[in-house]
């Protein structure tokens, strides 16, 4: 389990296409401090299994479903990614409960300067995501725990504070790009219990 508090921005050094899926290598430092073979690391909000560990990098295998359902399939050498280690049992839940199971991708629309290095992010979300969002609720965008500030049809708005813009990949995003979306797991359970969510239409990424 993760919390959506990004620890480090890593850089993709290898994206090796295989017969089925791909192998990714990411250069980083902080998340390697206590990494062990087979541990989980969230990459842009997708929970991946770290293998072939080095002091300054790790590799991970991406299944075809992961490439299809997340923006990891868009990565190239030189791309930057948000990284987070799982929370420990004694850790603080500073963001919200993030599973690392991406529900869908949204379209990055714009980042408007509000002044004093605060920003207004707009993302277009698909229908299956829209029904699970509430004003002031939690959402993970590319693995970042954020608060829903506005909902206008299929357009989601969130405020980005200076720390977030400088310590995640959001500042380098371009309009039209895909961002990973994970809805609050509590919203998904509530919708399921109320019969409002068809889980067969929401394949999540592991």
The residues assigned a catalytic role are: 2, 40, 47, 49, 63, 101, 147
Q: Which residues contact 40 (CB under 8 A, 6 or more apart)?
A: 47, 48, 49, 50, 85, 86, 100
- Contact call for residues 104 and 182 (beta carbons, < 8 A): no
- Contact call for residues 148 and 40 (beta carbons, < 8 A): no
On the CB side of 201, CA atoms within 13 Å amount to 10
Which candidate, 115, 114, 105, 126, places its Cα nearest to that of 173?
105
């Amino acid at each position: 389990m993760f919390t959506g508090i990004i620890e480090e921005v890593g850089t993709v050094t290898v994206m090796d296409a295989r017969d089925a899926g791909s192998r990714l290598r990411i250069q980083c430092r902080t998340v390697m401090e206590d990494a062990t073979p087979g541990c989980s690391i969230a990459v842009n909000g997708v929970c991946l299994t770290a293998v072939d560990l080095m002091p300054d990098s790790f590799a991970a295998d991406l299944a075809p479903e992961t490439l299809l359902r997340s923006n990891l399939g868009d990565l190239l050498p030189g791309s930057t990614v948000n990284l987070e280690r799982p929370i420990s049992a004694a850790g603080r839940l500073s963001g919200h409960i993030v599973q690392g199971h991406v529900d869908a991708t949204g379209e990055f629309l714009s980042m408007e300067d509000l002044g004093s290095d605060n920003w207004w992010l707009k993302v277009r979300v698909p229908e299956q995501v829209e029904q699970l969002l509430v004003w002031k609720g939690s959402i993970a965008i590319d693995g970042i725990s954020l608060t829903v500030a506005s909902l206008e049809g299929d357009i989601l708005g969130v405020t980005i504070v200076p720390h977030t813009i400088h310590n995640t990949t959001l500042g380098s995003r371009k309009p039209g790009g895909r961002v990973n979306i994970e809805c609050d797991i509590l919203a998904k359970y509530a919708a399921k219990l109320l019969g409002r969510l068809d889980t067969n239409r929401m394949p999540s990424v592991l």
